[in-house]
Amino acid sequence: MEKYDVVVIGSGPGGYPAAIRAAQLGASTALVEREAVGGTCLNWGCIPTKTLIASSDLFARMNAAGELGLSAEGTSYDYAAIVKRKGKVVARLKGGLGQLLKANKVDVITGTASFAGRNRIAVDGKTAMEAGRTIIATGSCSAMPSFIPSGKRVVESRAFLDMTGLPGSMIVLGGGVIGCEFACMAAQFGVKVTVVEMLEDILLMLDADIRAELRKHMEGRLGIEVFTGAPLVDIKAGKTGVNGKFGDRTLKAELLLASVGRLPVTNGLELERAGLATTDSGHIETDSLGRTSVASVYAVGDVTAGSTQLAHAATAQGINAASDACGQRVPRAEQVVPACIFTAPEIGSVGLTEREALESGREVVTGKYSFAGLGKAMAAGETGGFVKWIADAATDQLLGAHAVGPHATELISEATSAVAAEMTAAELGRTIHCHPTFSEAWMEAAHAVHGEAIHQPPRRRK
């Protein structure tokens, strides 16, 4: 039987970095994957969706190019070609990842892993290897509750990505990150989109100002109908379309995209043979370094309880877990995790929302700055949205940052560094920012925390 120091189960953004890290630290490492290296993120998540969104975004800009003095008459798109390009991007990344794993001497084993014992891993039911340490990184899959009928006109995100054509109309069930990203992308391609969210608003975890701004753009500019605060009921799926009831209204569309959440993948792992139990929701409980209740078993990413369902959080966890598994002390896991949402406009967010900060019992001050006030934004013709700092009134500490608008998913990284380093608003304001750039918004907003933004009329302070 093969013996490995570290066996990683699942090769997504949590698993493969863990395997590479373990190999870097000199551990003999195996990576067991039942489908495709890269996991959901690379194959059916982050990467393919961003490829489609790149096309839809440019298409939207082409259609608005007149504002910049360009003429783009009779624009059109070939969705099949766009999907084909997506396939190529994914294939290329997958190939690169395979080589990277090989170069690091990680043995990639194809098959479904399960525990045969605390330190024994079976692949496809046959005991295959002894594992000094095991890192579970099996991720999550789309939830499909039974009230959603199955049928050709009902898809979840993974099936949607394989479609070679877009419907004329679409109901997106669930106004979370995945639902809103697909809704915006499809709407940019001209699909008539309706979003239904049971909770009081879409993307409820976001700062309220950011949510309001996004919803304004989705409804106003993209023409997406957004219904919130009640469930879609009596959902029926036929051969050519779907319909359901939201209150008194009957909603109809050619396609229903179900994006009502994701479930951890633990079935088939035979966790009980390792002496591990899951929570009622099927998640594995861990500490901040991914350690489970069994000393030799770690878990990272979406499969863990309290997961943020963010690829980059899984990566950080995976690296920490691998380091710890290889005996390298990790002083503490970084707790500041930024979030990015590729809607139109984009959203970036890190740290506390204004409400969370207030609920933590602090006195809170905020500073906001609109892209409309920036020379670069005007020059680029991208003036929608704003950035917002949340700061502690007592210590001036930057507790959170939120951006909605052009390049927000890139812009959030500067704010992440500032929040992670516990910078103060005054320090960030003193930091010299390139002119003219979108990043200047952070500097202006930091000044605005103290009511001292240069390019903003003085506001009356409370």
Partner 1 sequence: MPKLGQTVEEASIVRWHKREGDPVKKGDVLFEIETDKAVLEVESFYDGTLLKILVREEETVPVSSTVAFVGEPGEDIPEEATKPAPAPKQPEPKAAPAAAAAPAATKPAAPVVGATAAAPSPVAAPAPTAQAPARVFISPRARALAREKAINPDGIHGSGPNGRIVARDVEKYLADKGYGEIRISAAAKKLAIREGIDIVSVRGSGVSGRIMVSDVERAVAEKPKKMSRMRQVIAQRLTESFTTTPHFYVSVSVDMTDLMAYRQVLKEQGGTYTVTDFIMEAVVLTLQEFPVLNSVTDGKSVRWYGSVELGMAVALDEGLVVPVIRDADQLSMMELHDAARALAGKAREGKLLPDEMMGSTFTVSNMGMLKVESFSAIINPGEAAILAIGSTGETPVARDGRVVIRSMMNMTLSADHRIVDGRMGAEFVNAIKDKLEDVALWKSMT
Exactly one of 33, 213, 392, 444 binds partner 1 (CB under 8 A); that residue is 392
Q: Are 155 and 167 in contact (CB under 8 A)?
A: no
Part of the chain binding partner 1 (CB under 8 A), chosen from 52-60, 86-94, 396-404, 440-448: 396-404
* Contact between 394 and partner 1 per CB under 8 A: yes
Residue closer to partner 1 by CB (options 187, 391) is 391
- The secondary structure of 365-423 as a DSSP string is EEEEEEGGG-HHHHHHT----EEEEEEETTT-BEEEEEEEETTHHHHHHHHHHHHHTT-
Q: Which of 217, 283, 312, 435 is catalytic?
A: 435
Edge-first strand order for the sheet with 249-253 is: 233-237, 242-246, 249-253
Residue closer to partner 1 by CB (options 332, 462) is 332
Q: How far is the CB of 251 from partner 1 (least distance, A)?
A: 48
Cβ burial 249-272 (10 Å sphere, 16+ → b, else e): eebebbbbbbbbebbbbbeebbbe
Part of the chain binding partner 1 (CB under 8 A), chosen from 5-13, 281-289, 393-401, 408-416: 393-401
Q: Which two tokens stand for residue 130?
A: 């002894």
Bridge partners, residue 262, by sequence:
142
DSSP state of 198: S
Residue closer to partner 1 by CB (options 213, 396) is 396
Q: How far is the CB of 246 from partner 1 (least distance, A)?
A: 45
Cβ burial 92-117 (10 Å sphere, 16+ → b, else e): ebbeebbeebeebebbbbeebbbbbe
Give, for 449, the enclosing helix (H) or strand (E): helix 440-449
Exactly one of 51, 323, 397, 439 binds partner 1 (CB under 8 A); that residue is 397
Residue closer to partner 1 by CB (options 162, 422) is 422
Q: Which two tokens stand for residue 416?
A: 């992440």
List CB contacts of 47: < 8 A, sequence separation 6 or more: 38, 41, 89, 90, 93
Q: How far is the CB of 43 from partner 1 (least distance, A)?
A: 34
* Contact between 195 and partner 1 per CB under 8 A: no
Provide Rg for the chain, Cα atoms. 23
Instruction: Show the binding pattern over residues 235-274: x = contacts partner 1 (CB under 8 A), - = does not.
Output: ----------------------------------------
Residue closer to partner 1 by CB (options 277, 394) is 394
Residue closer to partner 1 by CB (options 338, 373) is 338
Q: How far is the CB of 362 from partner 1 (least distance, A)?
A: 11
Q: How far is the CB of 396 from partner 1 (least distance, A)?
A: 6
Instruction: Show the binding pattern over residues 37-76: x = contacts partner 1 (CB under 8 A), - = does not.
Output: ----------------------------------------
Q: Which residue type, as a one-letter code, is found at position 264? A: P
Q: How far is the CB of 404 from partner 1 (least distance, A)?
A: 25
How many chain residues bind partner 1 (CB under 8 A)? 13
d(CA 30, CA 5): 8
Give, for 44, the enclosing helix (H) or strand (E): helix 39-44
* Contact between 395 and partner 1 per CB under 8 A: yes
Place of tokens 């929040």: 419
* Contact between 156 and partner 1 per CB under 8 A: no
* Contact between 309 and partner 1 per CB under 8 A: no
310-369 residues in contact with partner 1 (CB under 8 A) are 331-332
Residue closer to partner 1 by CB (options 351, 405) is 351
Q: How far is the CB of 400 from partner 1 (least distance, A)?
A: 13
Q: How far is the CB of 421 from partner 1 (least distance, A)?
A: 6
List CB contacts of 188: < 8 A, sequence separation 6 or more: 56, 57, 59, 60, 222, 344
Residue closer to partner 1 by CB (options 230, 336) is 336
**Between the CA atoms of 357, 212, 177 and 184, what dihedral angle is there, to the nearest 10 degrees?**
-160
Place of tokens 């295959």: 128
Positive/negative CA dihedral, 135, 27, 15, 109: negative
* Contact between 287 and partner 1 per CB under 8 A: no
Q: Which two tokens stand for residue 259?
A: 């994006």
Instruction: Show the binding pattern over residues 398-437: x = contacts partner 1 (CB under 8 A), - = does not.
Output: x----------------------xxxx--x----------
d(CA 424, CA 394): 11
d(CA 135, CA 17): 11
Residue closer to partner 1 by CB (options 194, 397) is 397
* Contact between 396 and partner 1 per CB under 8 A: yes
Q: How far is the CB of 105 from partner 1 (least distance, A)?
A: 29
Asked if 435 is an active-site residue, the reply is: yes
Report the catalytic residues: 435
Enumerate binding residues for partner 1 (CB under 8 A): 331-332, 392, 394-398, 421-424, 427
